[in-house]
Structure 1
Amino acid sequence: MPDLAVPPTPPVPLAALLAREDLALRRIAGPSDPSLVIHAAHTSEMADPYPYLLGGELLLTAGVHIPDAAGSGTYFDDYVSRIVAAGGAALGFGLAPVHDTVPRALVEACDTHGLPLLEVPPQTPFTAVARAVWQLLAQARLAELRRVTEAQQSLAAAAARPDPVPSVLRQLAQRTGGWTALYGPEGTEIASAGRRPEPPVTTSLAELAEVVRPSGPGTPTSATHATAGTHLAAYTLSTGFALGMATPAREPGDHTIASVATVLLTLLTGEQQSGSGAARTSALVRLLLGGTAEEVAPLLGGGDTWLVVHASPIGQRDRHAPSGARDPVDMRLRRGARPAPTHPHPPDLLSATALGAALGSPLIDPVGDIVQVLVPADRTLQPQPGWTLGVSAPVPAQQLALAGTQAARALARARATRTSLLRHGSRPGLAELVPRDEAQAHARALLGPLAEHPALVDTLRTWLSLHGSWDRTAVALAVHRNTVRQRIARCAALLGAEIDDPDVRMELWFALRQE
C-alpha cells in the first residue's frame, strides 16, 4: 500500500457533515467514531476507484458500476477493500435513479472493512454534498489560520520579554496543548514548559532531538515519532540547540507554529551561543566606565579595523519644510505628475536593524534622519535598495570619530549626486584642509539668506551637483523645470551672487557640504 497523500489542511469531522439537516445524510454501516474526518468529496462510478483517490475522501457513487449479479459474488467486498486500501474515509451511496435501496451486500462489506457508509437521499444531489464539504473545509481553514496568526503574535511578544527563551517555550506549549523542551548542544535539557509527560515520553523526545542535532550534511532539520499515545516532534536550531514538542495530537497548523518558534529560538540561542550580545553589553559598560576605544573594540568582534556607514532613506528631502507646504507654481505646472517617493518619518529601529543585518553588523544607531552602522572592515558592502550610503575609509578603533566624519561627508556627496553608495576617497579634499568649525562658520555666513528657505537650499544643492542642468534637477526633485529656474533665480537674488560664475559655484558647493 503506497503512502497516502492526504492534504495537510484542517479536515472536516464526518459528524459535522451528518449534522447538516439540509443534506439529510444517514450513516447505515461502518464505525460511528466521532473522530472520523474527511478531507474532500469525490464522485466516481468506476468499479475500481483506487487509482483516482489520494486519501481522506468521501467517495460518492450512485451504483452505476454495479453489475446485476454483484450480490452473489465478491464484487462488493473487492470494491470496498480497494476504497479502504486507497485511504478513502467514507462512502456515500445515492438512492435513485439506479437503486431504490442500498445493496445489502454493500452494507455488510462496509461493516466488515470498517468503512463508514452514508445513505444519500434522492432529493440531495452529490453537488450539494460536495459544496457542504468545501464550506466546512473553508471554515476549518479560516479557524486554523486565525489560530496560527494568534500564535505567531503571542510568540513574537514572548520573544520580546525579559526572559525570552522560557516565554517562547511557554507560549508554544500553550498554543499546541503539549509540552516543549529546549536541548543544548550537548543534548541536555536546558528549559521546558507545559505539563511534563511521563519519563518514557521525555526519554523518547530527548532521543528524537539527537536525531536532528547538526552532525553533517545529511542531518534532517525535523523529525517526528509517536509513543504512548503522544505525538513527538523535534526541530534543529542552527546554533546547535534543538527544540522538542510532545503533544496529544498533531494539528495541521502545529508545524507552522513550531517553525515560527524555531526561528525565534534560533535567534535567541544564537546570542547565547556566540556570546555576541554579552560582549556588546560588556563593551558598552566598559566604555561608560572610562574604557578607551582600543580596549572596547576587541569585545565587538570586528577585528583591527572598522568602517563607519551613514545611511539615509532614499527620497527623504525637504525634511525641514512645513507639513503639506507646496510651491503654488510647482502645483500648477505639475498637475497630474507622479510625486517622488518620500519618507515623512526618520528611519525606525526595525528598518535600521534590517539595514544592519544586510550590511553584516548588529552595531546600529538611528540618529535623526540617518542610521549609523559600525561594520568590520573585512565586509564587502553593496548598495542597499531604498537607502543612500556614505562609507568611511577603514580605520583602527582609536580613529572611529574621524571615520564618522568621513562617512557623513560621503553621505552628503551621495545625496547630492543621487549615488546609492559612495566611499570616502583616500585623496584629501578641500574640506580636509580647512578646520571644521571655521568651515561651518563660513557656510552659515554665506548661506544665511537662505536659512529660512529649505526648499531653495535643497534645489541649489541638487542643481550644483548636476552641473547646472535644469532638466536633470527637475527630474531629481520631481518638480517642473520652470520651478527650478525660479528657485535658482531666487537664490541668486537672496545671496546677491552671480551663480553662473564658476568661482561662486565652487564656494557655494563647499558651503553646502558643511551643513
Structure 2
Amino acid sequence: MEELIPPTVPVPLSVLTGDAELGLRQVAGPQDPATPVYAVHTSEMADPLPYLLGGELLLSAGVHCPVGAPDSSTGGAAVRGGAHAGDPAPHGQGDGERSAESHWERYVARSVEAGAAALGFGIAPVHDRVPAALVRACDRQGLPLVEVPEGTPFTAVARALWQAVTQRRHQALRRLSEAQRTLAAAAAGPNPVPAVLGQLARRLDAWAVLLDPGGRELAAAGSAPNAEVRSELAALTGRLRPGPSSVASSAGDLHLSVYGLGGRKPLALGVCAPHRDAVDGSIAAVAVVLLSLLTERRAAAAEERRAAALVRLMLGDPVPEAARLLDGEEQWAVVHGRRRGSAARGANEGAGRGGRADDPLAAASLAEALGTTLVDLSGDELRALLPLGEKRVRDQVRAQQGWALGVSAPVSAGHLDRGDAGAARALRRALAERRPVVRERDGAGADVVSLVAPEDGRALSSARLAPLDGHPELEETLRMWLSLNGSWDRTAVALEVHRNTVRQRVARIGRLLGQDLSEQDVRMELWFALKWR
C-alpha cells in the first residue's frame, strides 16, 4: 500500500527541455516527453555506475573524454582544453577516433545500466558541441541525450528540477487533500459505499468496483470497461493474500489494481484506470480504508442482529420471533463437522453439548476458516451457522484438515431446523464415503421433485410412509440406505450401528410398507416420498 503522501514526485524530461530560460535541446535518443526525471546529478567520472541511484539526468561536460581524439562534429578541429571526440569515417579510423568511439559507447552503456533517465552534455569549457560519437551511442542504446548550452550552468538545471518537483509535490498534496475530503464526505452521507466508489471513480478517471471473494461485482461506479477486462480484474481477487494486500496488472493501456479490504468480510476494491501514479495510489488507499470501515460496519450490524436474536431465544421468545431479526441475512447454511477417527458420539453422550470447552484457539481457527463467528465446538463435534447474505455461496466451505464436514442446502432463518437436519445427513454421508466435505443438494428447482405440486407430494409421502410413523429410526435408516445406493456397510458406518442392524431394519421397513425394496422402482418412489416428507 502506498504512503498517503507521495515521497517522490518525478518531473517529465519535457518540463526541463521546454523551459526557455534553460535552453535545453534533445539531440539524440527516444523522443518520449514523459520520461521521468527524479534528480539531477553532475559527474565527470568515466564510469558513472557507482554514483547513480536511477532516474537521474546525468550532466557532464565531457572532461573524461580521451585526449587527442579528433571530433568530426567540428570538422576535425581541436576542441578546447586539448580533448577531442570524433565522428569516425566508416573506414580508416585512427587510434584516437576508435578510442573516442569506444569510450562513449561504454559510457552510455554504463549510464543505461545505472538507470539514468537521460544524459545532459554541457557545451563549454571542454567541447564546443556534442560529440557525434556520443550522439550515435545514445541513439543505439535508447538513452535520451540533451544539449546544455554554454550560457546555462548545471546548477540552473538542478534548481529548475527542484522547483518543478516542489510545485508538483504541492499539486499532488492538494489533489490528495481534496480527494480525502470528498471521499470522507461520501462515506458520511447516504448510501456510503456507492458514494465512495463514485467519488473514487471521478478522482481517478477510473472504473471502481466492489468485489466479493469470488470476483463477483457487488457495486460499481464510472465507465465500465469491456467484459474481458472486467473478467481479468475479477480474477485478480484470487491472488490477494489474507489481510490487507493489493495486486496490480494491466490490460492494454489500462492499469488494473485490486485491494483487499480485510475484516470479517473478505471483500475487495477493484480499480481500472487509464493512468496510475503515486497520487492515484494514495487516493485509492484512502478509499480502501473507508470501504473497509463501511463494509465492516455492515458486518457489525449483522452481528448485533444475531446477538439480539440469541437474547430473545434465551429469554423464552418463540423461534419465529427471533428469526425475524435475521431476515436481512437472506439465507443460511448449517455446517456439521466431526473429527476424523473419533468416537465423538460416544464421548459426548455423557457430557452433552454443554460439556467441556474446547481449546479456544482451535475454535477461533475453525471460525476463521469457515468465515463465520457462529461456531459451536464441543469435543470432537462442530456445528456452525454460515450467513449467506453477503453474496456468499456455501460452496466456499473448504475441507479442513482432520475434519469431515456436512453442509446443508441454503435455508431461511425460520427454517434452521431443516438446515440442521440436512447438515447432519450430509455429515453422515461424508463419514460413510470418507469425503472431507459433502454438500446437501438444493431442493428448489434442483431435481424432479420440483415438478410435482408441494401439496401432491406431501399427500403421496404421507400415504406411502404412514406405516413408519412413530419409528424415526426406521425412517432415518431408509433415507440413509437409499442415499447410499443400498450399501449395508456404508449405511452402518453413517448410522454408527452394526451392519446386521441395518439389514434387520430394512427388512422390517419392507414388511411394514408391504413393498419389495429390492425393486428399483420401489426405491425411487420411496426416495421421492422421503424428500417430500
Structure 1 residue 277: Cα displacement: 7.9
Structure 1 residue 199: Cα displacement: 2.1
Structure 1 residues 281, 146: closer, same or farther in 2, change over 3 A? farther
Unaligned regions of 5+ residues in structure 2, if any?
A: 1-5, 70-84, 87-97, 327-533
Mapped partners of 1:79, 1:185: distance in 2: 51
Q: What is the match of residue 53 of structure 2?
A: 54
Amino acid at match of 1:194: G
Amino acid at match of 1:95: I
Structure 1 residues 155, 278: closer, same or farther in 2, change over 3 A? farther
Cα RMSD (Å) of the superposition? 2.7
Structure 1 residue 10: Cα displacement: 2.4
Contact 2:244 2:262 in 1 (8 A): no
Structure 1 residue 274: Cα displacement: 3.5
Q: Is residue 256 of structure 1 aligned with residue 255 of structure 2?
A: no
Q: What is the match of residue 184 of structure 2?
A: 156
Please, which of 272, 287, 291 is the counterpart of residue 246 of structure 1? Answer: 272
Please, which of 120, 126, 133 is the counterpart of residue 161 of structure 2? Answer: 133
Structure 1 residue 37: Cα displacement: 2.4
Q: Is residue 197 of structure 1 aligned with residue 221 of structure 2?
A: no
Structure 1 residue 86: Cα displacement: 2.0
Please, which of 291, 294, 297 is the counterpart of residue 265 of structure 1? Answer: 291
Structure 1 residue 35: Cα displacement: 2.1
Equivalent pairs counted in the alignment come to: 280
Q: State, as a whole percentage, how many aligned pairs show the same letter.
A: 55
Query: Deviations 1:102-124 (Å, cap 9, x if unpaired)?
Result: 11100111111221111111211
> Whose Rg is larger?
2
Structure 1 residue 278: Cα displacement: 6.7
Look up the SS of the partner of 2:175 in the other structure: helix
Q: What is the match of residue 10 of structure 2?
A: 11
Mapped partners of 1:50, 1:154: distance in 2: 45
1:242-391 correspondence to structure 2 within 5 Å: 242-276=268-302, 279=305
Mapped partners of 1:189, 1:13: distance in 2: 37
1:215-234 correspondence to structure 2 within 5 Å: 221-234=245-258
Mapped partners of 2:281, 2:143: distance in 1: 29
Mapped partners of 1:34, 1:23: distance in 2: 16
Amino acid at match of 2:282: T
1:476-491 correspondence to structure 2 within 5 Å: none
1:148-187 correspondence to structure 2 within 5 Å: 148-187=176-215
Look up the SS of the partner of 1:275 in the other structure: helix
Contact 1:58 1:91 in 2 (8 A): yes
Contact 1:25 1:121 in 2 (8 A): yes
Q: What is the match of residue 30 of structure 1?
A: 29
Unaligned regions of 5+ residues in structure 1, if any?
A: 1-6, 301-515
Amino acid at match of 1:119: E
Structure 1 residue 186: Cα displacement: 4.0
Mapped partners of 1:113, 1:144: distance in 2: 33
Query: Deviations 1:331-368 (Å, cap 9, x if unpaired)?
Result: xxxxxxxxxxxxxxxxxxxxxxxxxxxxxxxxxxxxxx
Mapped partners of 2:174, 2:307: distance in 1: 38
Q: TM-score, normalised to structure 1's length?
A: 0.51
Structure 1 residue 229: Cα displacement: 1.8
Q: What is the match of residue 118 of structure 2?
A: 90
Mapped partners of 1:52, 1:207: distance in 2: 42
Contact 1:213 1:241 in 2 (8 A): no
Q: TM-score, normalised to structure 2's length?
A: 0.49
Query: Deviations 1:25-79 (Å, cap 9, x if unpaired)?
Result: 1111122222222111111111111222222111101111111246424221121
Amino acid at match of 2:252: A
Q: What is the match of residue 104 of structure 1?
A: 132
Q: What is the match of residue 21 of structure 1?
A: 20
Q: Is residue 147 of structure 1 aligned with residue 175 of structure 2?
A: yes
